[in-house]
């Protein structure tokens, strides 16, 4: 187990270094020369150009530039925004809270509705209840979060103005009220994934021999359902919940843009549109680190939950 | 008639009769959009770029079934004309994904060992990336157009095709016909192309359909964020973005493209799920 964890950690760090190189290369890949990219909308005075050449070590070879940048990134210094001049790390930090709150709310909604619905669909396989749930899941999965968000704004902002549809509000209850609609827009697609994963995992378990045998032994329905079915469904469902944390990331970008939430995702879109490459690099590196850490944790959590996987890895 | 011939003659008819009504509806929906994609410019009642600034944004009426947008352009015509571009990119993505994914998946499944290790590792790696995020960063920074978008989406979708084809191949590889083909001394290429490929065909096709759906949603999302699209062209994603401020007057500006995206994506998903379940016996995930 520990050996496995160590192996995964080393692989994750190597992957993160590879990703950081690609992220750094974005600067060189952007159209136009490095100076013009880093200059942005500022006037091209010789002094400013010299300052930029110095700050980004543009006179050094590419790999040395990368070394400087990585060294800074390891100390959470991703340079400064071309647009506002503020340090990238403080921009990222100021935007993180809202995205985390949004994702947490959407995650809870998706899990609380998705898991029971998926279990019900599997239990009713082929009957109208299953069809209704499965079809709703397909619809929810096919609806882009930004379209759902726009329609929610129309419903609850224009027709029945009962919830705020713009911005993040103040901390506390007001923030919660502002996040209800964005969270629903985000949770719809996530919940659909949970429904499909849970249904597929349950159907898989229900078709196993040990289920038939448990029923044949005359065990009570509740005992078969709880001790045999649910315990075995839990593992793939927990794993899929972990992956939701990754899937939520791109969805959150769209939802934040629709509802004008000043979060991590809308920052990414603003930075890309403004060609603010240092901010894009910082955000991309933080996202990559997040995705890699979550997938390692999901992997290890599955191992901790399932004695069979533990055995397989020990060998 | 011999039993074999009887079975052959009876098989297609029986399988046709067992097509559920939901699949028929989904296929009909998909065909309508396919028709609009090909003949959209002929069917559209108005020139999609014709402006009527005096009219401006207006709710649905007899003259404009879905009303008009802020420049007085006919929403119905723009919706129809945008169908072609909305489907063309994703179709190219699906074909590219399947060509790359199916061949790598077949290779990984058939040869196993180190080939499998390398292909599966790299596929897992790309699979773990949040696709839309990668697309936003790469396409946004490089300021790429349609082809870069196609390439990036195909790249991030290919692991799905690789994994599905690989597991379908692994399910076939132990069957007697593969061993028989090997015993007869057929070359690897011939076994893979002539014997394995036809037997994993159903998986490959359903995978392509689901990749197509993913691509539609990513294309729409990028257009909504105005990344990698040309301004002004009729596009479902940009219609949704531009319509945000018009919903109080004409809801159809955003409802119509939203419904179009959902209808195409859902109908193809329903067909793909059905094909997947028939091919593998497993529920769609």
CATH code for the domain of B267? 1.10.3720.10
Assess contact for A23 and A281: CB atoms under 8 A. Answer: yes
Write out chain B residues lying below 8 Å of A140, CB-based: none
B213–A contact, CB cutoff 8 A: yes
B123–A contact, CB cutoff 8 A: no
Name the nearest CA neighbour of B57 among B260, B257, B242.
Answer: B242
Name the nearest CA neighbour of B201 among B172, B180, B159, B179.
Answer: B172
Nearest to A253 among B22, B132, B255 (CB): B132
* pLDDT tens digits, one per residue of B1-38: 445 444 444 444 445 567 788 889 999 999 999 999 99
Smallest CA–CA distance from B217 into chain A, residue: A144
Smallest CA–CA distance from A243 into chain B, residue: B128
Q: What are the structure tokens assigned to B1, written together?
A: 């008639």
Under an 8 A CB cutoff, do B255 and A151 touch? yes
**d(C-alpha A165, C-alpha A175), whole Å:** 11
Name the nearest CA neighbour of B33 among B105, B88, B70.
Answer: B88
Under an 8 A CB cutoff, do B140 and A291 touch? no
Residue B1 falls inside a structural domain: no
Query: What is the reported pLDDT for A308?
Result: 65
Query: What is the reported pLDDT for B5?
Result: 47
What is the distance in angstroms between the Cα of A210 and the nearest Cα belonging to chain B?
Answer: 19
* pLDDT tens digits, one per residue of B114-126: 888 888 888 888 8
Q: Which domain holds residue B102?
A: 6-283
Residue B146 falls inside a structural domain: yes
Residue A168 pLDDT greater than 80, yes or no: no
**d(C-alpha B244, C-alpha A18), whole Å:** 39
Residue B113 falls inside a structural domain: yes
Residue B94 falls inside a structural domain: yes
Under an 8 A CB cutoff, do A147 and B240 touch? yes
Nearest to B137 among A246, A258, A284 (CB): A284
Write out chain B residues lying below 8 Å of A206, CB-based: none
The arithmetic mean of pLDDT across residues B148-154, rounded, is 91
The 8-class DSSP code of residue A6 comes to H
Q: Kindly report which listed range (A57-61, A62-66, A232-236) carries the lowest average pLDDT score.
A: A57-61
pLDDT band of residue A314 (cuts 50, 70, 90) is very low
Q: How many structural domains compose chain B? A: 1
Assess contact for B197 and B106: CB atoms under 8 A. Answer: yes
Percent of chain B with pLDDT over 70: 93
What is the distance in angstroms between the Cα of B133 and the nearest Cα belonging to chain A?
Answer: 6
B25–A contact, CB cutoff 8 A: no
- In chain A, positions 127-156, which contact chain B (CB-CB < 8 Å)? 131, 135, 138-139, 141-144, 146-148, 150-151, 153-154
- In chain A, positions 1-30, which contact chain B (CB-CB < 8 Å)? 15, 26, 29-30
Which residues 6+ apart lie within 8 Å of B253 measured at CB? B57, B66, B67, B69, B75, B239, B242, B243, B246, B247
Return the CA Rg of chain A.
Answer: 24
Residue B149 pLDDT greater than 60, yes or no: yes
Q: In 3-state terms, what secondary structure has residue B91?
A: helix
Write out chain A residues lying below 8 Å of B285, CB-based: 196-197, 200
Residue B41 falls inside a structural domain: yes
Under an 8 A CB cutoff, do A253 and B141 touch? no
Residue A110 pLDDT greater than 90, yes or no: yes
Nearest to B132 among A131, A250, A273 (CB): A250
Residue B80 falls inside a structural domain: yes
Residue B32 falls inside a structural domain: yes
Q: Which residue(s) pair with B68 in the sheet? A: B58, B74
**What's the predicted TM-score (pTM) here?**
0.87
Assess contact for B139 and A27: CB atoms under 8 A. Answer: no
Rounded to a whole number of angstroms, the distance between the first and last alpha carbons of chain B is 43
Q: Which residue(s) pair with B74 in the sheet? A: B68
User: What ipTM was estimated for this complex?
Assistant: 0.85
Query: What is the reported pLDDT for B2?
Result: 47
Assess contact for A169 and A175: CB atoms under 8 A. Answer: yes
Stronger pLDDT, A42 or A189, i.e. the higher one? A189
Q: What rounded mean pLDDT belongs to chain B? A: 84
What is the distance in angstroms between the Cα of A284 and the nearest Cα belonging to chain B?
Answer: 8
Write out chain A residues lying below 8 Å of B248, CB-based: 158
The arithmetic mean of pLDDT across residues A236-244, rounded, is 83
Residue B190 falls inside a structural domain: yes
**d(C-alpha B121, C-alpha B238), whole Å:** 37
């Amino acid at each position: 187990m520990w050996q496995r964890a160590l192996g995964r950690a080393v692989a994750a760090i190597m992957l993160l270094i590879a990703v950081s190189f690609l992220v750094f290369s974005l600067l060189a890949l952007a159209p136009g020369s490095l100076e013009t990219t880093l200059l942005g909308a500022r006037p091209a005075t010789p002094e400013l150009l010299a300052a930029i050449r110095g700050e980004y070590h543009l006179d050094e070879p590419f790999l040395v530039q990368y070394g400087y940048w990585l060294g800074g990134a390891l100390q959470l210094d991703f340079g400064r925004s071309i647009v506002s001049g503020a340090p990238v790390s403080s921009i990222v930090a100021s935007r993180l809270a809202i995205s985390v709150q949004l994702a947490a709310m959407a995650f809870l909604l998706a899990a609380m509705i998705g898991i029971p619905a998926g279990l019900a669909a599997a239990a009713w396989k082929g009957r109208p209840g299953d069809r209704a749930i499965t079809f709703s899941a397909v619809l929810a999965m096919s609806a882009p979060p930004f379209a759902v968000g726009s329609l929610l704004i129309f419903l609850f902002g224009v027709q029945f103005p009962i919830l705020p549809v713009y911005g993040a509000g103040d901390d506390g209850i007001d923030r919660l009220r502002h996040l209800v609609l964005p969270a629903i827009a985000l949770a719809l697609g996530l919940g659909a994934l949970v429904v499909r994963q849970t249904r597929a995992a349950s159907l898989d378990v229900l078709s196993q021999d040990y289920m038939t045998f448990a029923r044949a032994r005359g065990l009570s329905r509740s005992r078969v359902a709880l001790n045999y079915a649910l315990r075995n469904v839990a593992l793939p469902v927990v794993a899929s919940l972990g992956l939701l944390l990754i899937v939520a990331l791109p969805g959150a970008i769209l939802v934040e843009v629709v509802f004008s939430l000043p979060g991590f995702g809308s920052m990414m879109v603003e930075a890309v549109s403004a060609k603010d490459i240092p901010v894009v690099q910082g955000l991309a590196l933080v996202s990559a680190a997040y995705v890699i850490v979550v997938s390692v944790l999901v992997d290890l959590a599955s191992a901790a939950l399932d004695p069979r996987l533990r055995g397989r890895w020990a060998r | 008639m011999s039993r074999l011939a009887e079975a052959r003659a009876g098989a297609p008819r029986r399988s046709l009769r067992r097509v559920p009504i939901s699949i028929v509806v989904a296929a009909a929906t998909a065909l309508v959009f396919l028709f609009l994609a090909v003949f959209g410019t002929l069917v559209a009642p108005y020139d999609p770029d014709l402006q009527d600034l005096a009219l401006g944004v207006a709710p649905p009426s007899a003259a404009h079934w879905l009303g008009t947008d802020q420049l007085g352009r006919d929403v119905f015509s723009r919706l129809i004309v945008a169908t072609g571009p909305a489907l063309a990119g994703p179709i190219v993505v699906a074909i590219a994904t399947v060509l790359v994914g199916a061949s790598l998946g077949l290779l990984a499944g058939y040869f196993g060992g180190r080939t499998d290790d390398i292909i599966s590792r790299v596929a897992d790696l790309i699979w773990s990336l949040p696709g839309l995020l990668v697309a936003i960063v790469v396409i946004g920074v490089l300021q790429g157009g349609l082809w870069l978008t196609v390439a990036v989406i195909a790249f991030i979708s290919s692991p799905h095709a690789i994994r599905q084809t690989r597991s379908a191949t692994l399910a076939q590889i132990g069957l007697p016909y593969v061993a028989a083909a090997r015993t007869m001394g057929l070359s690897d290429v011939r076994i893979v192309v002539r014997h394995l490929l036809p037997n994993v065909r159903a998986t490959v096709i359903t995978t392509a359909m689901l990749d197509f759906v993913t691509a539609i949603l990513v294309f729409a999302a990028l257009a909504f964020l105005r990344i990698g699209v040309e301004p002004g062209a009729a596009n479902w994603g940009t219609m949704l973005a531009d319509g945000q401020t018009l919903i109080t007057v004409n809801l159809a500006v955003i409802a119509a493209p939203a419904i179009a995206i959902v209808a195409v994506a859902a109908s193809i998903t329903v067909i793909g799920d059905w094909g997947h379940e028939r091919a593998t016996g497993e529920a769609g995930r």
